[in-house]
Amino acid sequence: MNKEAQHWINRYMDAYLVVTRRINAQIRDSISEELTSDQYLILRLIQGQELCTSTHLAEAFAVGKSSITAMTNRLVEAGMIERTRDENDRRQVYLSMTEDGKSIFDAAEKQVQEIVSPYLFHFEESDIEMFIKMFEKLGSLMQESGGKNN
């Protein structure tokens, strides 16, 4: 690896640690006591999918299905999500938010917006758009190929 690439990686890792640790801590401290950061993210993923499955959540979290099952079980027990079986294929189970889950998620989402938005005001709109596009591209590369050239 050349020195320039190593320098970029070090800068990325340094910024990643500061940003993710601080934002996650602020989110953890501000969202409902009923909800962990991971549970908030699960609700966010469920909300964004018309037919969300445990498999989708496991892939998004990059964890095994047993880990997702444990997390979703807690959300079911708390009355925030429910499971429904596909009428055509009873093996297929979909996850959706209950009204209580939607209410808790909406409150948490508002808190997250209040935490993140003040940071955005320090940047031009075009810079924010470019950053998000590049970050989305990095996310896509990680999901598709692990960054390797095919």
Beta bridge partners of residue 84, listed in sequence order: 94
- Helix crossing, 37-47 with 65-77: angle to 10°? 90
Please tell me the distance from the alpha carbon of residue 85 to that of residue 89, in angstroms, as a whole number.
8
Instruction: Tell me which CATH code domain 31-115 carries.
Output: 1.10.10.10
- Helix crossing, 37-47 with 3-30: angle to 10°? 90
Domain ranges across the chain = 31-115
When pLDDT is cut at 50, 70 and 90, the band that residue 148 belongs to is low
More confident of the two residues 83 and 31: 83
Res. 147: pLDDT tops 80: no
- Of all helices (H) and strands (E), which one includes residue 130? helix 125-144
Please tell me the distance from the alpha carbon of residue 40 to that of residue 62, in angstroms, as a whole number.
16
Determine whether 102 is exposed, middle or buried from the number of CB atoms within 10 Å of its CB (0-12, 13-18, 19+): middle
**pLDDT (tens digit, 9 = 90+) per residue, 44-81?**
999 988 899 999 999 988 899 999 999 999 999 999 99
Which residues have C-beta within 8 Å of that of residue 141, sequence separation ≥ 6? 147
Q: Comparing C-alpha atoms, which of 89, 97, 114 is closest to residue 39?
A: 97
**pLDDT (tens digit, 9 = 90+) per residue, 106-132?**
999 999 999 999 999 999 999 999 999
The neighbour count for residue 31, using CB atoms within 10 Å, is 22
Please tell me the distance from the alpha carbon of residue 106 to that of residue 73, in angstroms, as a whole number.
21
Res. 150: pLDDT tops 60: no
**pLDDT (tens digit, 9 = 90+) per residue, 30-49?**
887 778 889 999 999 999 88
Contact 37, 31 (CB under 8 A): yes
Could you tell me the maximum CA-CA distance found in the chain, to the nearest angstrom?
Answer: 57
